[in-house]
Amino acid sequence: MSTTSSADLSDGTGDRILRPRPRKPIHSQLSQITNISEPNGTLEPIANAAGSSTGMTSGRSTPIPVDALPSVKSLSSARKQVRAEQRRRIFPTIEYASRVSHFDPSSDYRDFHGFFNLFWIGLAIMAITTMLRNIKDTGSPMRVQIWSLFTVKLWHLAIADFLMVATTAISLPLHRIFRHAPMGGAMSWSQGGMAIMSIYQVLWLALWIAVPFLLDWTWTAQVFLLLHTMVLLMKMHSYAFYNGHLSETEKRLHALDDPSTASRAPAYLYPTPDNPMGTVASPKRAGGKGKLNGKVEKSDTDTDEVADEIAQLREDLARELTSPIGNITYPANLTWWNYLDFLCCPTLCYEIEYPRTDKIDWQNLLSKIAATFGCIFLLTIISEEFILPALTDASLRLDPSLRTPDSPLTGLEVLLILAETISWLLFPFMLTFLLVFLVIFEYVLGAFSEITHFADRHFYSDWWNSTDWMEFSREWNVPVYSFLRRHVYSVSRPYIGKSSATVITFLISAIGHEIVMACITKKLRGYGFVCQMLQLPIVMLQRTKWIRGKKTLNNVCFWCSMILGLSVICSLYVLV
């Protein structure tokens, strides 16, 4: 019985040539296995078939002679190999190789965006089930205990916030006065300007911390104004001190127009105990000879050397007065528009100029605004449904006035109530912490970045992988970390050393956090201050040779201390 197929054709000489049947393309992972199983690139003819292959083929039908040129044979062989990769074995083949799973510590896979989506889906399920339960119990999807606080004395908050922002604007006219004062004069920055701005900032902070207490605001309004106050304080400080540094630099540059009387000390950024001018701006000039506070030694008598020294100093000072991007030079930045732009930019460290985007991404801006209100909605639900009931119940159980003389409250009962309350608050406070992080650093700062065309969106790093509290402090709040490093750590380190400067930086940060907690709870307890300062010995312990390098263990300890610490601090402030 004979059959006719595309695989059984005859050429012009009557020879029988076996052609490969067209096959469906296979996955590239099987190409290597296919080539091994079929080394010739074509299906082998059946042994008892009539005729046999007597020639080579070019393409699918055109034969090539046996004595063809090597280049022709190479092209034909390449075509056969490509066709062989498109075939597969009759039974599907699975490729096995030495690989690790996505969650393996040695895996290079880093895209877990689906878990971020799952996080939001889980929160949506929580919100929906909570509202359905409220409808069943009360007939209303929402409780109103916290929602009602948002509208209390709202106009007071708006007016006070506007006045608070307006009172920071005194920095610009004061700085213009400091700039025009003669070098070394009473109103120059290095003499009286720094002291004036420091005193003003202290009084300004005290005033706006006291305003909510004097007006008897709710804790929600007080938190908003206090956080905004802290942000503007850091902005005002950075604006004043950086421009003050530039004003002194400009005066030194102008003084070099008369080199015979001007100081030829190297350009400095920050002061040191040994030299009040600070750290050398140009390392090449630090090793120069014959330069000490503008006094010329005998080796400086060479005219060419002095001229080169002055030219290098002019270059250092001029570079310091120019923005990193190079478009604006001090004092061209001393304008109201530049100051208002800095207030709106999502940064705490002042620079003459920032990198900008070309246009506003309106879709991104609207999505961040919507996400901000969505996070506030979820935060309110979590507070009303899980945090407030637990604290209210514990407060009633700890109230001595509700106890009878026969059943006084013992110390053991107090500890048990606190432990139970802390356990109830672990998960709600973890969610609250994550939502507060997202609403501030991803959505609010992201929205202001779009509005101001601010291009640098690096507001946080992967702090969730932190292995100690020092790493967390660097990565979870980049704007505040940059401010503290620039205006606290870098200024104090030349005087007191690296370790002491680190302690001072943590101390100032802890004081700021304690002020926030004291204003929220109207209690000055120091729990937050103590817990934050305890981070330093914990970091020292984690960096010992027995624990250092164990990233998984340190990260687990970080998360456990974070989750437990939030619940403990809140319970202590509210209940004790």
The pLDDT tens digits along the chain (576 residues) read 444 444 444 444 444 444 445 544 444 444 444 444 444 444 444 444 444 444 444 445 567 787 888 888 888 888 777 777 656 566 667 778 888 888 887 888 888 889 999 999 999 999 999 999 989 888 888 877 777 788 888 898 999 999 999 999 999 999 999 999 888 888 899 888 999 999 999 999 999 999 999 988 888 889 999 999 999 999 999 999 999 999 999 988 888 877 666 666 666 555 444 544 454 455 444 444 434 344 444 454 567 777 777 888 888 888 889 988 888 999 899 999 999 999 999 999 999 999 999 999 999 999 999 999 999 999 999 999 999 999 999 998 888 887 777 777 888 989 999 999 999 999 999 999 999 999 999 999 999 999 999 999 999 999 999 988 889 999 999 999 999 999 999 989 988 888 899 999 999 999 999 998 888 888 888 898 999 899 888 888 888 888 888 888 899 999 999 999 999 999 999 888
Other CB atoms within 10 A of residue 46 CB? 8
Which residues make beta-bridge pairs with 356?
454
**Which pLDDT does position 293 carry in this prediction?**
44
Expressed in angstroms, the distance from the first to the final Cα of the chain is 99
Q: Which of 68, 65, 82, 70 is nearest to 20 (CA)?
A: 82
Query: Within 13 Å and on the Cβ side, how many CA atoms surround 165?
Result: 14
Nearest to 357 by CA among 369, 345, 349, 367: 345
Which stretch of DSSP H or E encloses residue 57? strand 56-58
The two structure tokens encoding residue 511 = 């004081």
Token digits of residue 86: 């498109």
Closest Cα partner for 152 from 224, 222, 217? 217
Angle between helical axes of 362-382 and 445-452 (0-180°, round to 10): 160
> Could you identify the residue written with the tokens 């945090």?
387
Which has the closest alpha carbon to 510: 525, 527, 532?
A: 532
Q: What is the pLDDT of residue 10?
A: 45
Distances from the Cα of 260 to the Cα of 126, 206, 311, angstroms: 75, 47, 14
The residues pairing with 8 across neighbouring beta strands, listed in sequence order, are 18
Separation of CA 520 from chain center: 26
Measured CA angle at 36 (ends 33, 42), to 5 deg: 105
Judging by DSSP bridges, how do beta strands 295-296 and 291-292 pair with one another? antiparallel
Q: How many alpha carbons fall within 13 Å on the CB side of residue 290? A: 13
Handedness of CA 445, 451, 452, 458 (dihedral sign): positive
Quickly count: other Cβ atoms within 10 Å of residue 195's Cβ: 10
If DSSP codes are grouped into helix, strand and coil, which group holds residue 405?
coil
Cα separation of 348 and 235, whole Å? 5
The secondary structure element, H or E, covering residue 8 is strand 8-10
Nearest to 447 by CA among 366, 375, 377, 376: 366
| CB-CB contact of 88 with 95 (8 Å) | no
User: Residue 274 gets which letter from DSSP?
Assistant: S
Omega into 141 within 30° of 0, i.e. cis? no
Angle, helices 388-398/411-437, rounded to nearest 10 degrees:
160
Q: Which residues carry out catalysis?
A: 513
Please name which of 267, 263, 272, 236 lies closest in space to residue 249, comparing C-alpha atoms: 267
Q: Where are the beta strands (DSSP E) in 221-373?
A: 291-292, 295-296
pLDDT for position 309: 78
- CA gap 8, 18 in Å, rounded: 6
Helix (H) or strand (E) holding 195: helix 194-215
